[in-house]
Amino acid sequence: MTSIFATGQPQDIPAVLANKDRRAALQQRLVAAHPTMTVVAAKLNIPGPIKNNRAIQRFFTTELLALERDWLTAGQLFYQDTEWLDAGTGPERFYLVKAAPQEVKAQTTRFEEGQASHRLFDLDVLVQRAGQVVPLSRADSGQPARRCFVCGRPAKECGRSRRHTVAELQAAVSSLISATLAVEQRRRVRDRLVAFAQQSLLYEVVAWPKPGLVDPVEHGAHPDMSVFTFINSSLSFRRYLEQAAELGLSEHPADYPLLFKELREFGKRAEQAMFRATHGVNTHKGAVFSLGIMTLAVADSWRRNGRVDLADIQATVKQLLVGLVQDDLQKQAAVDQQTAGELQYRQYGLTGIRGEAQAGYPTVFDHGLPTMLATAGEWNRRIIQTMLALARYTEDSTLVKRAGDPAILEWKNTQVDACLAAGGITTAAGRAKLAQLEQEFTAKHLSLGGTADLLIVTIFLTLVKEKLADGLSNE
């Protein structure tokens, strides 16, 4: 493991002493100016000449969020007054807390002792005594003495005896900070994947025009739904998306079919949440299935590779779904208990979304994603042009169900070919053809629901490819 001390500007004793004077002056001013508040000065105990760099700053700011959550949970009002994050002598932050000093000291001590890495924090709770601003000691508030972050003995005892070398101290600090940042990195990846997944759900429904689908202007093929139904649905299964990302980011055994089985159980709960949000309307059952799979696959691939690798993501999907068609479609079930996909498999030999998924979503990777990545301009233009590319190659089970005949797929392909030949949404002729198609789908009560699910997955993968790495590096 690379030491976090490989970068940074070494600090000498005069620099440390100068910063100590600057801190003392600020603390004096804050205590005098806010007599009804308690001042908390937060800094880190960093051994050696390197006191600050990007890793140290990120550790400092990230872990102070936990301290702030403690205050919020306790119902205590606080705000940040000043901070010196990029100071060569180490990051510092100064809070004002609306609580008694002894109470605040008890909380800060619990924070410092709550986990190993928090022993690196030095949270001074400041009081005024005999005209001087001094930190409240742990003994003053009945708190246990600080322990060494290397061996766990009393910190003062280790300091006086110089029990640990600077190299030993730095190694311990580097290990603690690196482990904490690794956990934080996984959380950030999870949160960004969940945000991208929800963005993809919302981007799909607001794009217009979409023949046979719901958008802000038209929903004739789905009179029981509106764009608001889809928005409510999109927000209802955030926890499921978090679980999908967490499954992929966790250090799990390489038993991908079992991983998918676990995801599917979470997906059943997500479907229930969706139905509650939509009052029984099926808006996103297919998206729950496919978006959950893709979120898990992206997270798993990122965990192993530390980057976006589309080929690896597709390979991961295939590992997750080995035997899906056989397990789901070749089983025997009573006719009245069969899903539309199961009925179509028995009647027409169509494998639908299960076949698409088991094959690694080739329609998405071979047609949808290349189209979206190659289409310039704003999102609506990219989404509609990609929808057409997906519609052309999707064995859309929703369309077959509505029509009652798989021959509808040939008709659909002919119509989409004509629209694409006219330029799709990029030309006036293509837009006229889209409007005509929208009217035809409404009149015939036809839907491209299967295409919509693949469109959501394509938008998600586009956001991942275009924004995930840059977003993490810029936060």
User: How many beta carbons lie within 10 A of that of residue 6, not counting itself?
Assistant: 10
CB half-sphere exposure, 162, CA atoms < 13 A = 3
In 389-398, which positions are buried (b, 16+ CB within 10 angstroms) versus exposed (e)? Answer: bbbbbbbbbb
Rounded to 5°, angle at Cα 71 from 70 and 77 = 165
pLDDT value of position 96: 98
Q: What pLDDT does residue 337 have?
A: 61
Quote the pLDDT of residue 144. 85
Strands 132-135 and 78-84: unpaired
Tokens 């929703």 locate to: 398
Q: What pLDDT does residue 473 have?
A: 55
Q: Block means of pLDDT (10 residues each) for the chain, length 475 residues?
A: 91 97 97 97 97 98 97 96 97 98 95 94 95 89 85 88 93 96 96 99 98 94 95 98 98 93 98 98 97 99 96 98 89 63 84 94 99 97 99 96 95 98 97 96 96 99 92 55
Residue with tokens 């004509």, as numbered in its chain: 418
How many Å separate Cα 244 from the centre of its chain? 10
pLDDT at 139: 84
- The residue extents of the domains of the chain are 4-164, 188-474
Beta bridge partners of 78: 97
Residues 446 and 398 sit within 8 Å (Cβ to Cβ): no
* Rg over CA atoms, the chain: 29
Is residue 44 within a helix (H) or strand (E), and if so which, with residue range? strand 38-44
* Spatial contact of 260 and 320, defined as CB atoms under 8 Å apart: yes
Say whether the peptide bond before residue 209 is cis (omega within 30 degrees of 0).
yes
Convert 365-383 into a string of H (helix), E (strand) and C (coil). Answer: HHHHHHHHHHCCCCHHHHH
- Position 345 scores a pLDDT of 84
DSSP assignment of 119-168 equals GGEEEEEEEEETTEEEEPPTGGGTPPPPB-TTT-SBHHHHHHHT-S-HHH
Which residue's structure tokens are 């939509």? 278
Token readout for 219 is 């929903």
From the list 298, 314, 295, 318, the residue with the least C-alpha distance to 306 is 298
Locate 113 and state its tokens. 């002792």
Spatial separation of the C-alpha atoms in residues 82 and 251, rounded to whole Å = 39
pLDDT at position 1 is 64
Q: Give pTM, 2 decimals.
A: 0.91
CA distances from 110 to 38, 56, 69, 123, 236 (A): 17, 22, 13, 11, 36
Strand partners, 121: 44
Helix (H) or strand (E) holding 454: helix 449-474
